[in-house]
Copies of this chain bind each other. A is one copy, B any other.
């Protein structure tokens, strides 16, 4: 169960993990299962644990005043999920995180962070992830500021092909910040149409 996590950590740093450290990680990260549709985190709650997805897929969304669900994150196996803002600042979250498929997720509770921080390979991974995360958000932002919907969809297909196959059209549309109708039309044009 923890194998994937261990090799994920190893893959994101240079320092190897000792046997003892692996034991600590196995002890601290605990498995929980969710069925499709269940909420991992509900708006207004403080996010007390981050989760490493072993199997499954989740979506993270905020609900606006009109009741529309705006999807701002999609995560699948081998990714971390959770609201980092809420987790680190211990503030109520503005997001919901919901299992889109049945999931198996390894959670780290915030109370155990101190123990993990003594493991060099783990802090290396965390730094790396923070970096990647912030770089990825920046790219997405640039895509939103400078590209139109169809270009943004192309970017998405290029950068996240795994996600494209995993979620239905209307979810991807929301993730891209457009309506399902618009995405449907963009898709049609892409297949039948000449080069831009």
Contacts and interface: CB of A to CB of B under 8 A. Distances in A.
A57 to B, nearest CB: 19
B146 A144 contact: no
Among A127, A130, A133, A134, the most chain B Cβ lie within 10 Å of the Cβ of A134
Given A145-B72, A146-B70, A177-B146, A131 B130 contact: yes
A138 B138 contact: no
Interface in A134-151: 134-135, 137-142, 144-146
A133 B134 CA distance: 6
Contacts of A131: 84, 88, 130
Contacts of A72: 138, 141-142, 145
7 contacts: A72-B141, A84-B135, A85-B135, A130-B134, A140-B141, A144-B145, A145-B177
Given A70-B145, A85-B139, A145-B177, 4 more contacts: A71-B145, A72-B141, A72-B145, A134-B137
